[in-house]
Structure 1
Amino acid sequence: MIDKERFIQNCIEAVAEGRGALRELVTEAVSDSAQAMAQLGEPTHAGITPLYRSKDLTIINFVWAPNMSLMPHNHHMFSVVGIYSGREDNVFWRRTDGSIEAEGAKSLGVGDVAVLGRDTIHSVLNPIGKMTCAVHVYGGDFFAPEKPRSLWDHETLVEQPWEVERVKSLFAEAEARFNAWKA
């Protein structure tokens, strides 16, 4: 990974070029796990740490708690995901009459990058017993999207409004559950 500030500036300059240009930058950023960790910091807690935010670009450092699962959700913007530590398993979903159903999956390990389209619905699992770290670059404002986002209940697959504060609390709850289990 190049210097964190340079990476952010490169993404700002590349966002107009689209997902392909951002994919190249994220691929470079996660190609050296140790350097990415040095630039972004050793994880101490699970969570969502914004590195940059504007109406057309958000860069986030995600740290997934061990064995954490995040319910199906959408973004209404493209995203580029790069893993620099651990593993992230994605299940992809499609809408049906009144619900969603699984239609595929992709497992990402260190150095892997995935591009998700505007209409992608996915759930995320950290299947391992340690923190997973990933850089996510979004083609919009992740925290205040132009179009309301949705999430789906894990068990019932009922659609609900997506709320960033609820999602942030899920990261803290997953970390607390893991720490309690570990103790």
Structure 2
Amino acid sequence: MSFSLTEFVRSARSAAVETRPVTAVKTLMSQTFADPQSIAKAVGSFISADECLYEDDEVSVYWVRFAPHELVPPHNHRMHAFLGVYEGSEVNLLYRQVESGQLELAKRRVLNPGDTMSIGGDGIHAVHTEGAMPSIGLHIYLGRLSTVSRDLFDTETGRSMPFTDENYQMLLRPLV
């Protein structure tokens, strides 16, 4: 079966209002990403690193590209997030915040084409690619991502700060 971005967005909207939206979106993601080549063939290229495909109070759907050799700073979403990769390899560094406020690496999870994962509403993660190619995927969030108050974290100081474009650029690091 061929992939349709329009149909994926429609299905995400439907899954988000199910009685058990987390289960419904997880199922949608695993079914969709079972054929990552079909997604890659159907989805065009975008100019920005992330592109909002749809958003309302129940769900946000984004196309996301992570550049090679960059470490996206630790951040939260304050809502359930569902990630799927269809090109490249994406490394997710999952953190927990300890009593002192510092971040402690809890888990490292690599997503290759066809892989999906979910992050709970209180999850904190940083992202980088593996290798010299970007990772490209689709993300679903259970809520309006563009308006929620989110945090970025400085891994060196443990300090949290509002997720703004300026703070994001300040904390974006080359991957060494």
TM-score by length of 2: 0.87
Q: Which runs of 5+ in 1 are unaligned?
A: 179-183
Q: Give 1:27 shift.
A: 1.9
Quote the RMSD (CA, aligned, Å): 2.2
1:101-116, aligned counterparts within 5 Å? 101-116=104-119
CA distance in 2, matches of 1:29, 1:166: 34
CA distance in 1, matches of 2:103, 2:168: 23
Deviations 1:33-63 (A, max 9, x none): 22212222146x5501111111120000001
Q: Which runs of 5+ in 2 are unaligned?
A: none
Alignment partner, residue 85 of structure 2: 83
Letter of the aligned partner of 1:156 in structure 2?
Answer: T
Q: Give 1:156 shift.
A: 2.3
Alignment partner, residue 122 of structure 1: 125
Q: Give 1:169 shift.
A: 5.5
Q: Give 1:104 shift.
A: 1.5
TM-score by length of 1: 0.83
Q: Does 1:149 align with 2:158?
A: no
Give the total of aligned pairs. Answer: 170
Q: Does 1:27 align with 2:24?
A: no
Give runs of ≥4 in structure 1 deviating > 4 Å.
167-170
CA distance in 2, matches of 1:72, 1:51: 23
Deviates more, 1:59-68 or 1:24-33: 24-33
Q: Are residues 68 and 59 of structure 1, via their aligned partners in 2, closer, same or farther at CA, if it must alter by over 3 Å?
A: same
The 3-state SS of whatever aligns with 2:72 is: strand
Tell me the percent identity: 24
In proportion to residue count, which structure has more helix? 1
